[in-house]
Chains A and B, each alone.
Chain A
């Protein structure tokens, strides 16, 4: 009978849990699903495609408008791609619940806080890096298109290219974490995706309805400035006329992540898997 593996030689020891190892496990899990790569491919196509399209549109009249901030073409697609980031984050969690994988995950590492941290870090880093690559490619292409009209991006000035691209990549990571949070809070794929889309996409649109309402409804508009993607706009392209300063905008994004992950931790810790 050769059923049981030799004990000592096969596993000599030193095999125990640690955060780096759980991170590695979560990295393997994220990168070995086709859905991850589909999401990234679509995100890249939208980011680069829309960016290039806007650049062409800006120069279609034969000359680019004066004082054009070309980086806007690069970061504008985030209004759509942030949704994909959020959905990717959500299904990274709900996929485990719907398939039962979560039971394997939590028996392999029963420290649930560590599993949550590992999943969050892996998704955030993955989305940040992938988005950074997309935005840089898009920026290069957009710069080349606008350059034909003497309006290429000013790479030398950090606040013109590098900082917006970095901030936009951070925003993508933030949106993924919002999706992760809704995933842990709701566990159902449909519910988590609906909640993510609602927060990122629907609420900002709904808030605009109140623009025509009286002064007594102004607080809705003020509150809407703190919605994730509204704050993100002020973080990516700060301006003196923006409702939130860059600092407050980043703090707001951080607060969304903190609140979401804290709620996730409470739920994950207390509920049966």
Chain B
């Protein structure tokens, strides 16, 4: 469980993170989304005590990171793959990290095997590809078998097999009840991995909601209808109060009524349908709707099912 309360970070006149509050819950994969410079990395660095918040606080399982007695067993963190001395071998890097907690060398070899870097473990990290560096960073995050994982762009530079591995890995970790917070630029990857999304923009929380709800709220569900008498059907639908957009001589996109209703209407009028497909927006659409327009930064909130959620609206 990660809890941020009124977290702000200012660098001189620039505010990188502005009064951010959120909770990352165990047993779910929470995705951190936002444009570059939105404050994702800064927030993650504050969680693990590298940067000191200007105001507010952030805790992991109720404690500030700097006060943890065994941080590696509580939080595994991958901030960037380059947090490794280039002149040291991967295995020695992990040995040095493990030594701070008295974690045995057997565990070092274990995480090397888990992350599949055995073949390069005795090579110096400076020569690693981005993907290998990323795996080494993940290996370091796993050393203490932590309850909480914080991964900044974990799939950055990984090959498809590595991307799949990370996805399965974080899903599995969450299913074991661990807390997972990850950021990614890859929207489709995030859509497949995360259960819950926190969108940051200009240092503020723009949205904090389950993935499905976010997509539902910020995109428009439509029904694509293909019919030889599309124009005629379109006119009927408009008359019934639907919004209809033509997209081709025999195809219309209908917003408003659900697919079954359109189907029934067409049957009633004897209009043949060649296609009747409900389409919903993607996370990407939702994300762009949320972050794309400066005006919308301050206007729409995404209410969470059940509880009212704080700090959605700036």
CA distance in complex: A14, B103 (Å): 9
Structural contact, A11 and B107, CB atoms closer than 8 A? yes
Specify which of B85, B86, B107 lies most central, judged by the most chain A CB atoms within 10 Å of its CB.
Answer: B85
Interface residues of A in 100-141 (CB under 8 A from B): 100-104, 106-111
Question: For this complex, into which size category does the number of interface residues on chain B fall?
Answer: 35 or more
- C-alpha spacing A4/B114, complex, angstroms: 7
Q: With A15-B103, A24-B99, A25-B99 in contact, is A104–B84 under 8 Å at CB?
A: yes
Closest residue of chain A to B126 (Cβ to Cβ) is A99
Bound CA–CA A86/B266 (angstroms): 85
CB-CB under 8 A from B100, the residues of chain A are 17, 21-22, 24-25, 108-109
B127 to chain A, nearest CB (A): 13
Q: Does B274 contact A (CB under 8 A)?
A: no
Flag if B95 contacts A34 (CB, 8 Å): no
Interface size, chain A (Cβ < 8 Å): 41
Measured in the bound complex, the distance between the Cα atoms of B95 and A33 in whole Å is 13
User: Would you give the 0/1 interface string for B22-54, flagging 1 where the beta carbon is closer than 8 Å to chain A?
Assistant: 000000000000000000000001001111100
Instruction: Write the nearest CB–CB distance from A225 to chain B, whole angstroms.
Output: 39
Check A95 for interface membership: any CB of B closer than 8 A: yes
Cα distance A21–B97 in the bound complex, in angstroms: 10
Residues of B within 8 A of A104 (CB): 83-84, 93, 97, 140
The reply to whether A1 and B168 form a contact with Cβ atoms under 8 Å apart is: yes
Given contacts A4-B172, A10-B110, contact A273 B50 (CB under 8 A): yes
- Give residues 210-244 of A contacting B (CB, 8 Å): none
Q: Are B85 and A7 in contact (CB under 8 A)?
A: no
B82 touches A106 (CB 8 A): no
Residues of A within 8 A of B (CB): 1-5, 7, 10-11, 14-18, 21-22, 24-26, 28-29, 32-35, 95-96, 99-104, 106-111, 270, 272-273
A–B Cβ pairs within 8 angstroms, 14 of them: A3-B173, A5-B111, A10-B145, A15-B102, A32-B92, A32-B95, A35-B87, A95-B85, A100-B84, A103-B83, A107-B48, A108-B101, A109-B100, A270-B52
